[in-house]
A and B are shown apart, each in its own frame.
Chain A
């Protein structure tokens, strides 16, 4: 069946055998693409497992991060609603009753993440506050009628069970007014009242649960709709306890810009601020990458690209996770040895069952080759010929890699504690920046590191002590044995600092005695001060504190030098590090414009034909017609006369123009530029 027609643009294809589902398992696509695929099934399963773990971890993180916000929101809702309850009984404060309790939720510009937040918010509200939670989007509500319709239909849906669904749907269309809503509400609450004690003991203190309406993207609602709705619902507030939640991406001022005073005075607004997305990113990175929990790691370039897309493009955690997923997928898809990218015991087991081909793959790894070259000659031979020996060696190497990572992250965090409080942040404020630098190269070779150490040597005692305490906690938190001695060392240092306190007091008292100041004139004072300065410079007698500080700095420096080696130095790192940064950028942050430009200006780039090589700014005469047409268009873009053009082509010797094509009709060539113009130039 053809897919072009002059009468329609959609073509549906259904396989002939009706409903016979032979859906190919996804794994098949995983291996078929490659000719020789090693353990592809296992690899895909590992991918799936790790991805599921990462996903659930991020979700857990998200919930954790939102917990504070949600708690305070729920508290606000309960408080404001309890006011309603009281009021409804004693009718005391009429004025308060007119105000709709409103929570303005400032969520930041990362619009893509909002959906997730709102979803979990809805769940949280439904389980804690009220079953009646409705969320609306601006695109569903072009006017008040639609607004109410949506509201009603969602309300009905969220409370009505399977029974009487038909009936309700009939109702939906007939009347959607605030009156009907409030009557419905009284109906429902009365109906459920007897049921309440049985059903929901937790929220039974409320006879009438509030109705929470979430406006997801407050900014894009039409002002008219919002105003009308607010005015109307405020009239019905005493019988229809509504609570609004505005989702705001920009700033809370927008409320006053959208709503005139007359309307905004009907609201009782409280502001809530969500966690900034950068902090969110830091936590995600911390929990997903800076940990040995997940074996998968990113190389410096990849991490850089992902964070840059985040910081420069969208601030979206969602997208960051997507990038992470893609890199995970790419890693398992392209690297046959990624089968070893799993938990340590599992990986050890897998090494045993590696095929000969996979062993060959291991031998081909550059990091492994470097490792082999360093070994003694007989061991080299054994590594390169004996499979079993290789496997055993690989096991120990993997174990080393694991230990390396554990130590790495501990020391990294420790170093971060030291550098994050330095003025001007020579090594970055965030741990991810530090991580990137460490991944890239030997950090101690960098100037920034030197200056950071310089600054560390000037820290005051209390600062130093707090940092050391934090580091101590970091090391204590890990159960690893290797760095247990380090923790002890830190403890010792801390103790020394404390003892310094006592010693210093004595010293101070003795020092002040000798410095008995006599009365003197200005000249002498100056002179003696200068002398003192000179003295200090030459004979720089270090105090105990300075000695100790030096010790601390040297200590951290030695830690860094020992443990923060870049991963490239580790054999077998290719199995767990994903480094194909360019593919990631290609797929996530593509530049169609650049691609078009290159295709038109430099066809050699794609076609790889020597005849197409040309200097900058020229186009060879054998280039595809469309490139020539584009170039010509650039030369005189405003008006191209097709007649002149075709005449010109015909007039010039064909050898200079078109060695390839038989010029049966010059007109033909003029149809090219039209296509070119249409596609590329109509900006």
Chain B
């Protein structure tokens, strides 16, 4: 960045503006105010930066300070602020780009892993200082012992098994960096390209670069990050999939059992945290009664906490528990359960608004009515809509309806504009529990659990085993064809005529009647599906994902 700055003085205006535009474009994301500051700084400090590289550091610090300005204005720095995290981090980290510098590390690591035998895996890591440093698990407190251990174990193999490719790449990378340093003021414009090239060659950039590169100030980093984030260059990923693991998928029950065996770490501390929150129950009740509503936020499932609140405080009062994470939840169903079950109303309503009006009137008329609403995940997919929030907000604004809810999404507060916020009249409580979202995610499918909807491998083989060899051959033919064609997006299935032709050629059937009989049997076992194409031709399809199909074929191969 120092270079474009230098040029600024003597060069054309045009170039400067272009640079500026880029900045504009990037920095917009971080908010306009900051942009202005930074730009001003750039102009002022351009020369200083060149003179003394260390200045850079200072400036970064200042940057952080500036970010904090607003925060400080809000009194964030009040001493003894127990909760809300260490706000001293400033917005810088929380709101910044994701660090994209090492985006391919994982992929690269994976490919190395795949290539080398297991023993050298750990060693490989060691060899590449970059990876070693940047993998988070290697905390600075511990690596020393690990390293020693590893060295003792693997010293013999150290030299011999180093993948040559890796070393080479590192060297190339150095060259690349050198080249980059020679580039002129157009650097900013050219950077994406050079970055891309570098990246294709290899990932590590930062740590090994000469000090020159360190001179870049923050803006330059941002530019870089921007292009890295938006570059369309192909990312090197490993193509290994879960199916390739020679491990049967677990069903839901086993997975749950296994998970329950894993004791969470720091249970003592977690318990203490939870106790801390439980002491607030009385306060919550008080504040709910005084017209506030309570929203819980923070990492970890808050369901258990709310359940405890419910069982300890709400036993004697009417309350409704609403699982926002339930996929079928809707405002309508919430209102229905209030009208039908709480208020014992049997009639129906024209619209949700009518229903809301009715409830409002009911609660306003009878001041002795009291209702607690507990909503787990107020920010869930189904409830986060504007209308839903408006209605829930209106409910909660009633004098004798008390709402206590939890939110989890990072941007959940964006759901509420000022009007809604005043309806809700929130009091925020941070309850970081670190507990797993077991219940909340139970409606989602896990990759590790076999999907009940699709046909799993075991049943496939089971059915096939009971068939005649010919029938198996027919099925294999179809599955092979499907695998061959799976890449093409327009593949609709194998037409019956073609299939018949192929089967005849393989001496599997002698007439289309026998084939049809076979297909009927397949269809009865849900092994295939038929579709009528646009031209009226019947197409055959196996409703199984390609991974399972490949496995199946491999198994078949082994058996025969």
Distance of A656 Cα from B153 Cα, bound (Å): 15
- A residues in contact with B74, CB < 8 Å: 305, 308-309, 312, 585, 589
CA distance A108 to B248 in the complex (A): 64
Q: Which of B3-11, B279-287, B523-531 contacts A (4 or more CB under 8 A)?
A: B279-287
Q: Quick check: A653 and B320 within 8 Å, CB to CB?
A: no
Are the CB atoms of B287 and A329 closer together than 8 Å?
A: yes
B421 lies within 8 A of chain A by Cβ? yes
Secondary structure call for the A interface: helix
Residues of A within 8 A of B269 (CB): 606-609
Known pairs A644-B113, A671-B259; A597 contacts B430 (CB<8 A): no
Q: CB-defined interface of A131-143 with B at 8 Å, one 1/0 digit per residue?
A: 0000000011000
Q: Is B103 an interface residue (CB 8 A)?
A: yes
Cα A675 to Cα B444 in complex, Å, equals 10
1/0 contact string of B94-107 vs chain A (CB within 8 Å): 11001110111111
A318 within 8 A of B: yes
Please state if A316 and B439 are interface contacts (CB–CB under 8 Å): no
CA distance A678 to B408 in the complex (A): 10
One of B102, B103, B425, B432 near A322 (C-beta < 8 A): B425
Is B189 at the interface (CB under 8 A from chain A)?
no
* Contact partners of A325 in chain B: CB under 8 A: 290
Q: Is the CB of B139 within 8 A of A626?
A: no
Contact of B240 among A15, A643, A675 (CB under 8 A): A643
The segment from B29-37, B130-138, B155-163 that touches chain A is B130-138
The answer to whether B241 and A643 touch across the interface, beta carbons within 8 angstroms, is yes
Complex contact B259–A622 (CB within 8 A) = no
Question: Which residue of the partner chain, among A3, A15, A598, A613, contacts B307 with CB atoms under 8 Å?
Answer: A3
Alpha-carbon gap, A372 to B418, bound state (A): 49
Among B98, B390, B422, point to the contact of A637 (Cβ < 8 A): B98
- Tell me whether B298 and A586 are in contact (CB under 8 A): no
**A377 CA to B111 CA in the complex, in Å?**
80
Whether the Cβ atoms of B113 and A651 lie closer than 8 Å is yes
Please tell me which stretch of B165-173, B311-319, B477-485 contacts chain A, meaning at least 4 of its Cβ atoms lie within 8 angstroms of it. Answer: B311-319
A15 with B315: CB separation less than 8 A: yes
A residues 572-595 near B (Cβ < 8 Å) are: 581-582, 585-595
Which one of A15, A33, A600, A648 contacts B286 once the chains associate, using CB atoms below 8 Å? A33
Asked if B57 is at the interface (CB within 8 A of a chain A CB), the reply is no
- A residues near B241, Cβ cutoff 8 Å: 643
User: In whole angstroms, how far apart are the Cα atoms of A22 and B370 in the complex?
Assistant: 11
Residue pair B289, A26 in contact (C-beta under 8 Å)? yes
| Interfacial residues of chain A within 285-338, with CB under 8 A of chain B in the complex | 301, 304-305, 308-309, 312, 314, 316, 318-319, 322, 325-326, 329, 333
Known: A316-B422, A643-B241. A586 touches B84 (CB 8 A): yes
- Asked if B286 and A30 sit within 8 Å, CB to CB, the answer is yes
B349 touches A (CB below 8 Å): no
The distance from the CB of A75 to the nearest CB of chain B, in whole angstroms, is 30
Q: Which residues of B401-456 are within 8 A (CB) of A?
A: 407-413, 417-419, 421-422, 425, 427-430, 432, 434, 436-437, 439, 441-444, 446-448
Q: Are B102 and A635 in contact (CB under 8 A)?
A: yes
B238 touches A605 (CB 8 A): no
Q: Please pick, from B103, B318, B434, the residue contacting A606 in the complex, using a CB distance under 8 A.
A: B434
For residue A588, which residues in chain B have a CB less than 8 angstroms away from its CB? 427-428
Across the interface, A32 reaches (CB within 8 A) one of B89, B94, B242, B282, namely B282
B113 touches A615 (CB 8 A): no
A158 within 8 A of B: no
Give the chain A neighbours of B84 by CB distance below 8 A.
Answer: 585-586, 590-591, 594-595, 598
Q: Is the CB of B419 within 8 A of A619?
A: no
Q: For residues 597 through 627 of chain A, which have their beta carbon under 8 Å from a beta carbon of chain B? A: 597-603, 605-609, 612-615, 618-622, 624, 626
Q: Does B347 contact A (CB under 8 A)?
A: no
For chain B, residues 247 to 261, give those with C-beta under 8 angstroms from any C-beta of chain A.
Answer: 247, 250, 255, 258-259, 261
A620 touches B141 (CB 8 A): yes
Q: In the complex, what distance in Å separates the CA atom of A631 from the CA atom of B122?
A: 20
Q: Are A9 and B320 touching (Cβ within 8 A)?
A: no
A636 in contact with B102 (CB, 8 Å):
yes
Contacts of B427 in A (CB 8 A): 326, 587-588
For B444, the chain A residues whose CB sits under 8 A away are 674, 678
Choose one: A26, A593, A638; the contact of B103 (CB below 8 Å): A638
- Tell me how far the C-beta of A16 lies from the nearest C-beta in chain B, rounded to whole angstroms: 10
Q: Which of A83-91, A205-213, A233-241, A662-670 contacts B (4 or more CB under 8 A)?
A: A662-670
| Contact (Cβ within 8 A) A12 B121 | no
Q: A353 — which chain B residues lie within 8 A by C-beta?
A: none
* Residues in A whose Cβ lies below 8 Å from that of B142: 620-621, 656
Contact with A along B336-363 (1 / 0, CB 8 A): 1110011000000000010000000000
**Which of B75, B235, B329, B430 interacts with A308 by CB under 8 Å?**
B75
A4 to chain B, nearest CB (A): 6
Is B282 a contact partner of A33 (Cβ separation < 8 A)?
yes
A648 and B264 CA atoms in complex are apart in Å by 21
Instruction: Pick the contact of A13: B137, B314, B413, B421 (CB < 8 A).
Output: B314
Q: Answer whether A9 and B323 are a contact pair too, CB < 8 Å, given A29-B285, A582-B82, A651-B113.
A: yes
| Chain B residues with CB under 8 A of A590 | 84, 297, 428, 430
CB pair A11 B321 closer than 8 Å: yes
Report yes or no: A11 in contact with B137, Cβ–Cβ below 8 A: no
* In the assembled complex, A479 has its CB within 8 A of some CB on chain B: no
Contact: A8 with B437, CB < 8 Å? no
A14 within 8 A of partner (CB)? yes
**B318 CB to nearest chain A CB (Å):** 5
Are B432 and A606 neighbours in the complex by a CB distance under 8 Å? Answer: yes
Q: What is the bound-complex CA distance between A639 and B106, given in angstroms?
A: 8
Given A15-B316, A585-B78, A636-B103, do A605 and B86 touch, yes or no (CB 8 Å)? yes
Given A301-B75, A671-B446, are A644 and B139 neighbors across the interface (CB < 8 Å)? no
Residue numbers in A under 8 Å from B425 (CB-CB): 322
How far is A671 from B256 in the complex, measured between Cα atoms in Å? 11
Say whether A111 faces chain B, with CB atoms less than 8 Å apart. Answer: yes
Residues of chain B within 8 A (CB-CB) of A634 are 98-99
Closest to B317 in A: A15
B520 an interface residue at 8 Å Cβ cutoff?
no
The answer to the question of A364 belonging to the interface, with a C-beta cut-off of 8 Å to chain B, is: no
> Which of B136, B279, B285, B429 is in CB contact (< 8 Å) with A631?
B136
CB of A519 within 8 Å of the partner chain: no
- Answer whether residue B110 sits at the interface, using C-beta atoms and an 8 A cutoff: yes
Query: Which of B78, B238, B289, B297 is the one whose CB lies under 8 Å from A581?
Result: B78
Kindly provide the distance from the CB of A215 to the nearest chain B CB, expressed in whole angstroms: 15
User: Chain B residues with Cβ under 8 A from A637's Cβ?
Assistant: 98, 100, 103
State whether A641 touches B316 (Cβ < 8 A).
no
Residues of B within 8 A of A22 (CB): 316
Q: Is A632 an interface residue (CB 8 A)?
A: yes
**Nearest chain-A residue to B394 (Cβ)?**
A139
B368 within 8 A of A: yes
- The answer to whether A599 and B261 have CB atoms under 8 Å apart is no
Q: A112-B421, A312-B74 are in contact. Are A679 and B283 (CB under 8 A)?
A: no
**For the complex, what is the distance from the CA of A657 to the CA of B122, rounded to whole Å?**
12
Residues of B within 8 A of A628 (CB): 136-137
Instruction: Judge whether B83 and A595 touch: CB under 8 Å.
Output: yes
Q: List 24 A-B contacts (CB under 8 A).
A: A10-B323, A10-B333, A11-B321, A12-B338, A30-B286, A33-B283, A110-B418, A314-B421, A582-B82, A585-B81, A590-B428, A592-B428, A595-B298, A607-B434, A636-B102, A636-B105, A643-B240, A643-B242, A648-B113, A651-B113, A668-B262, A672-B436, A675-B441, A683-B411
Q: A8-B326, A599-B298 are in contact. List 8 more A-B contacts (CB 8 A).
A: A12-B318, A12-B320, A13-B321, A24-B316, A329-B290, A661-B265, A667-B247, A674-B441
